[in-house]
Every structure is written in structure tokens, then in C-alpha cells.
Amino acid sequence: MSKKISVLIPTYKPDWYLERCLKSIEEQTLDKKYFKVYIALNGPKKGYEDLIVGLLKQYSFEYAYFYIAKAGVSNARNLMIEMSVEDYITFVDDDDVLSCNYLEQLLLKVTPFEISVSNVRLFSQIPEDSHPNYIGKSFTTLNQRETSLFKTRKFFSSPCAKLVHRGLIADHRFNTKLKIGEDSLFMAEISKRVRAVNKTDLSACYYVYVREGSASRSKIEPIDEFKRLSYLIILYSCMLFKGYNIPFILSRIVASMKHFKRVFK
């Protein structure tokens, strides 16, 4: 039987946390014949490649390793989308952790036109000492199967904690001009053909490691932030005329406009 899931992991200057991430994948309850791990190192290579290859050899899941000299999580993700072949795709950040039933639960709830989503929790020390973020809080109130994109809009802010059929992604790719906001944009772009969002069991969880130095926590100069938000709003506005769900896209525009307050403080 052919594999079902491509697990895509971009990594930049990986540290000890990568081993923790890979270990959680090794411990998945889903039979390893149903998934393959793709990992792409981007940026500096010396020392980091040896670390990754050494770690991968310790595990029994099938994997493919790639290197991209140009740094950027979007570059890495786009390459792995192109190189992977499995029916379904899930994105995992190299410092995050998966519950042992994560892949199995996602696969149970996904269809070619309906994405599956898991619970999401944040942690700073160990996953066992975690708390829900804004997505995790929404997970508990979401219907088991929800067809409203507007009601599930928080789950479209990140490509992680979900399983998506390759056909929904089609020729859409992460925007390499953005360092922040590219995740929400990508998810909005693939939303047109999504018919519903299905929840996994509450026990299936994507644990987000709160780490200093990540792109989402880096300081941005006001002029750069103004340009970024303006660019995003233009792209979202264009989508209003391309057959996308209007209330959902408007929510993306409003969310982007709210961030302008930070620019003028």
C-alpha cells in the first residue's frame, strides 16, 4: 500500500529541539508505512547538515533530506511540496512536538475536500506543562464538522496542526516575499475548494514551542511593517474578485488592518 502523508519540516540552524520533534514523529501510533518525513535545511549548512543526517539515521520512519542555500521557511516548504508525492500534506515546525496519535487522528478525519485539524497547545518547557493558544481555545468550541470558513477562520492562520489533500494545495505556494503573514496568506489561497473542517479527538495535539528568536517574535521596523501589511491587504483584496468566500477574506483584511495600530504607536 502506498503512503498517505507527507510530513514536511523546514529547519534553519536547528538545535537540540529538532531531536525532540523527530522523536515525537517516531512515536506516532500510525503505521510508518503510511507516512514519509521530508526535511529541508535552509541557510547555513556546515555543522547543521551533519546534525540532521545523524538524527534521521536514529529513526525507523522513511525520510528524504534536502538542502537549500537560500534561507527562508517558505523556500523550504515550497521545495518539499514539489518533491513530496503522498496524497496528504502536513506541515511541522522543527521545534514543535506532536502527540503520539496526531497523524492517525488527522488521517481518520480528512477527505480530499475537507481538511482535518487537531488541538493546539503552547509550552515553554515540556509539552506536559502546556496551555491552549487562541487556536486551541477555538478547537473546543468548534463543531465536529464545520462548513463555515468564517467560523473556522482562526484555523486558517497557520498551515500547522492540520492535514490537507495535495489537490487543495494544487499550484499554490508560500509567498517568498513575506517573512511574516505568509502562513495566513497561503491558507487563504487554498481555502477556495475547502468544503469543511473536521476536528480530531481532543487528545490529538500539536504542541507549539514558545521559543525566543523565532520569526514571529522578531522586532520589525515600522516602515517595513507598514509595507508588509499594505502588501498583504492588496493581495487579500484581489481575492475578493476571484471567487473566494467573501466574509472569510474580509476577515483576513480586517485582521491585517488591525495590525496597523502597532506601526503608529
> What pLDDT shows up at residue 211?
79
Q: Looking at per-residue confidence, does 237 or 134 come out higher?
A: 237
Partnered with residue 210 across adjacent β-strands are: none
**Residue 213 pLDDT more than 70?**
no
Partnered with residue 117 across adjacent β-strands are: 162, 199
> What pLDDT shows up at residue 2?
62
> Can you read off the three cell numbers belonging to residue 44?
547555513
- Cα–Cα distance for residue pair 37/56, rounded to 1 Å: 10
Give the single-character DSSP code of 217: G
pLDDT tens per residue across span 170-188: 999 999 999 899 999 999 9
Among the residues of 84-221, which ranges form H helices? 102-109, 134-141, 166-169, 182-189
**Residue 218 pLDDT more than 60?**
no
Which of 80, 149, 145, 81 lies closest to 116, judged by CA?
145
The helix/strand/coil state of 55 is helix
**Residue 230 pLDDT more than 60?**
yes
Contact 63, 36 (CB under 8 A): yes
Name the pLDDT band for 8 (thresholds 50, 70, 90).
very high
The two most distant CA atoms of the chain are separated, in Å, by: 57
Strands 130-132 and 119-123, sheet pairing: antiparallel
pLDDT tens per residue across span 140-170: 999 999 999 999 999 999 999 999 999 999 9
Neighbours of 263 (CB within 10 A): 17
Name the pLDDT band for 77 (thresholds 50, 70, 90).
very high
> What pLDDT shows up at residue 1?
46
- Mean pLDDT of all residues in 200-220: 80
**Residue 135 pLDDT more than 70?**
yes
> What pLDDT shows up at residue 221?
80
- Mean pLDDT of all residues in 88-99: 98
- Mean pLDDT of all residues in 55-71: 97
Name the pLDDT band for 220 (thresholds 50, 70, 90).
confident
